[in-house]
Amino acid sequence: MNPDLEKLQPYPFEKLNALKADSNPLVEGHIALSIGEPKHDAPRFVLDSITNNLGKINRYPLTKGIAELRLAIRDWLIRRFKLTDTLDAEQHILPVNGTREALFSFAHCVIDDKNDSLILMPNPFYQIYEGAAFLSGATPYFYNTVKENNYLPDFDAIDEKIWKRCQIIYICTPGNPTGSVISKQQLARLIELAQEYDFIIASDECYSEIYFDEQNPPTGLLEAAQATGNTDFKNCIIFHSLSKRSNLPGMRSGFVAGDAELIKAYLKYRTYHGSAMPPVHQLASIEAWNDETHVQNNRALYVEKFDAVINILDSVIKVKSPDAGFYLWLNTPVDDEIFAKDLFAQQNVTVLPGSYLSRESDGINPGKDHIRMALVAPLDECITAANRIKQYIQSLNL
C-alpha cells in the first residue's frame, strides 16, 4: 500500500459526525449549514440539453474535449475577465470533471524533486490541496489567513527559504471558508514571486461567480497576469467550475486554463489518467458557459440570504460580510467545537468548526474560534437557522 495514504486526514465531515454523535437536539427540524453544496435549481435549459443528447453516450469522449466546448470557455473567460484574444482555446484551455479532481491530480502531474518540494496552501483551506501534496510526494506548507489581515494571505511574509522550495502555491479566491478575495495587486505581487522563484500558481476560482456587487466581480489570476504583461500566463493556472456558478455540482464540469506548457503536460497526464468529460456533459456545459442570466439570478438569491442572515446575527455578534462566495466565516465567542456541538444540541443547526478546516502553522491555528456557515439552504431555512443561532449566542450570556 502507498504509505502516503496514511498521511491523509479524515474529511472535516467525518470529524463533524463524530462531534455530533451523542447529541439529541432539543428542537425539531434539522438545518444543515455545514456542507458547501449548492441547492438552488439547476438551469432548465442545461437539463434539457442533457436529455436531448443522451444518445451521444455511445462514444468515447476526447480528453481534450470538443473544440466547441473549449471555445465556449475561452469566450466566457474573455468576457468575464476582460482578457484579450491571445487566450487560445487550443493551447490554454482544458475541460476537467469539476475542480476537485483537477486540483488534486494537477500536483501529481507537475511535482518533481520529490524529497524537498513544498506545496503552499492557505490555512484554513480546502482539504484536497493537502491530499494533493501528500500523494504527489511533496510536503504541504500552510500560510495563514487571519482576521487581522482580513483573512487574506500575506505573500511578503513568507520566507525566501520557503519560496525556494515551493513548486506549487494553491490560492483560493474567493476563499473557502473565509470569503476573502485576493486583489489584483496582491495577485500581481504573487506572479512576480512566481517568476523570481519559478513556481506555479494554482488559483482555485470555483466561487468566482458568487458575489454581491454586480459592478464589482472578483478579479482572477489570468486577469492579473495579463495586467502585469504576462500575456502567455507563464506559471499561472486557474481552476473553474459549473458546480457553484450554475448549480450543477452533480454534472462534474469545470476547466483549467493558463500557461500553455502546463496545459500540454496536464493533457498528456490526463490521457493516461482516463478522466475525459462525458460527451453529454460537454454539450450541456457549452449551454451553461454561454448564458449569464441564470448566473445573475443565482447571485440575487445569495444576496437576499446574506442580507437577511447578517441582519439577524448582527445584533448579537460581529459578522464580517464576505467579499464573495456563499460562506459566512464567523469568529465565535467560545471554542469552535463547543459552539458547533452545543448549537446542534440546543438548536438543531449544524455548522462546521473552523479548526476542522485548518492546521497549526507558525504557532497558531487560524481556523480555531471560527465556524463556517454555508448559506445554501432556501431563504426561509437560512432565516430560521440565523434566528436559532442568535438564540444560542444569547444563551451564552456573554
Where on the chain is the footprint of ligand PLP (CB under 6 A)? 36, 98-100, 126, 172, 176, 204, 206, 241, 243, 249, 254
Closer by beta carbon to ligand PLP, 226 or else 254? 254
Residue 297 beta carbon to ligand PLP: minimum distance, rounded to whole angstroms: 20
Closer by beta carbon to ligand PLP, 119 or else 312? 119
Residue 66 beta carbon to ligand PLP: minimum distance, rounded to whole angstroms: 20
Residue 64 beta carbon to ligand PLP: minimum distance, rounded to whole angstroms: 19
CA–CA separation, 333 and 331 (whole Å): 7
Residue 375 beta carbon to ligand PLP: minimum distance, rounded to whole angstroms: 14
Residues present in the chain in total: 398
Closer by beta carbon to ligand PLP, 153 or else 254? 254
Closer by beta carbon to ligand PLP, 98 or else 279? 98
Closer by beta carbon to ligand PLP, 282 or else 347? 282
Residue 239 beta carbon to ligand PLP: minimum distance, rounded to whole angstroms: 7
Closer by beta carbon to ligand PLP, 69 or else 206? 206
Residue 279 beta carbon to ligand PLP: minimum distance, rounded to whole angstroms: 19
Closer by beta carbon to ligand PLP, 279 or else 325? 325
Residue 127 beta carbon to ligand PLP: minimum distance, rounded to whole angstroms: 9
